[in-house]
Amino acid sequence: MNTAPHYSIETRDLNLWYGHFQALKSVNVKVAHGQITGLIGPSGCGKTTLLRCFNRINERFGNVTTTGEIKILGQNIYNPDISLIELRKSVGMVFQRPNPLPISVYENVVFGLRIHRQRNQLSRSELEEAVEKALREVFLWDDLKDRLDARATTLQLEQQQKLCIARLLPLKPEVILMDEPCSALDAKGTRTIEELMLSLKQHYTFLIVTHNMAQARRVSQECIFMLLGELIEHCPTQQMFLNPQHPKTAEYIEGRYG
């Protein structure tokens, strides 16, 4: 999964059921490579379900049926020869609440490398280089370079969330999925995570679920609006907020429901 077409994510007639409940209905979407795309809509509209389709996490819940096609970097992720391990290396995920492992900062960053490669394949110097590079990319190196042995769960929440992003980077993902990544943070923490996304977007494709309309306007270049499992509108962010084409989009942006 190392090619990089114009679209990082494409779906065709994507449907998903939890048991008998249909959560996604004929979703057709193309997410452009190398930018931040916001995913908005009221609670229960299918945003997180759609997000979790792209690394096939939904399948962990059982009683889930999916039809249609999903392509990541041009490849159908349901092809029998697609490795889930390789898929999840290419498509990283950041959750609502920071979830660093209860081990050191250093071991959090190298955790993925240790899983995906045999322990003796990487030298200590290579691991140290990967840790420094990842922490520099998320602006944590200066704060934590002398605290690499500190337990990650003792960090401030903002630092924990940055560390969760840093944990993905040594695996060189192409796509980073974010599910309300700032919901547990204060205004300062939210601002720093947004600045981090903006600094990284030239290297990664971000798809971010957010209920924060101001956040969607600040960080995303395109926005997707969903309602009751359907994709209602997908367009440049400024167009969606200033001149939405669908009346349901306008009603949501204006705060009439949600």
Q: Which one, of 193, 194, 236, lies nearest residue 219 by Cα?
A: 194
* CA 8 to centroid of chain Cα atoms: 12
Domains detected in the chain: 7-100+173-253 (3.40.50.300)
Are 235 and 245 in contact, with CB atoms under 8 Å apart?
Answer: yes
Residues 101, 157: Cα–Cα separation, whole Å:
13
Residues 84, 82: Cα–Cα separation, whole Å:
6
- At residue 211, what are phi and psi to the nearest 5 degrees? -95, -5
pLDDT in tens, 119-146: 557 788 999 999 999 999 999 999 999 9
Reported pTM: 0.92
Instruction: Using pLDDT thresholds of 50, 70 and 90, give the confidence band for residue 3.
Output: very low
pLDDT in tens, 21-36: 999 999 999 999 999 9
Tell me what the mean pLDDT of segment 228-243 comes to.
Answer: 97
